[in-house]
Amino acid sequence: MDSHGQYGRRVGWTVVGTGIGPLLLAATREGLVNVVFHATGPVRDRALGRLASRLGAEPVEAPGSPLLAEAVRQVEAYFAGARRGFDLPLDWSLISGFNREVLRKLAAEVPYGSVVGYGDLAGRAGQPGAAQAVGTAMGANPLPVVVPCHRVVESHGGIGGFGGGLETKRKLLALEGVLPEPLF
């Protein structure tokens, strides 16, 4: 119970520097709940405001919390090429229905260094023909990088869209060896 006699969720956050720019990591008691790209100034502040609104609790900067400290360690190891996946508890409360189902399928079945087409992922989630809905789910992913929506590409060989920007998607795929490193 909080100081106003209300049952609220505690939300902690921190920012970690990476090869694709600063990432905001936010967590509840249940697990990592949000990862936000380009998390400086206004972007960070808007993300924290959205979290407060959606979760009913004002996020508190908490880089020393055990869950966030472990998340930072794993993110840094991933970007250093020393980690290929994440072993963190996840709080899926920001997403539901088909979007949650397809993101869980993605996290469980599309490993580091591989890609999957939107349509193929729709089929894996039991909804063949729902490629556009998969695209919507990827755009709604509250946990990018950790739940690797960057690994979802167009079936005809295109890179597809990405909430963090196409250059960020290219860098993540290059880090995982799917695309060649940019020449300059």
pLDDT at 178 over 90: yes
- Spatial distance between the Cα atoms of 87 and 107, rounded to a whole number of angstroms: 11
Contact between 6 and 134 (Cβ < 8 Å)? no
Predicted confidence at residue 65, as pLDDT, reads: 95
On average, the pLDDT of the chain sits at 92
Note the pLDDT tens digit of each residue in 8-35: 579 999 999 999 999 999 999 999 999 9
Three-state secondary-structure class, residue 50: helix
pLDDT at 81 over 60: yes
Q: Model confidence at 5, in pLDDT bands (50, 70, 90)?
A: very low
Predicted confidence at residue 155, as pLDDT, reads: 84
Contact between 66 and 89 (Cβ < 8 Å)? no
**Active site includes 149?**
yes
DSSP code per residue over 131-171: HHHHHHHHHT-SSTTTS-GGGEE-TTS-----TT-HHHHHH
Residue 54 amino acid letter? R
pTM of the model: 0.92
Q: Which of 149, 152, 172, 173 is catalytic?
A: 149
Mean pLDDT of 89-106: 96
Predicted confidence at residue 1, as pLDDT, reads: 36
Residues whose CB falls within 8 Å of the CB of residue 117, separated by 6 or more in sequence, listed in order: 131, 152, 153, 154, 155
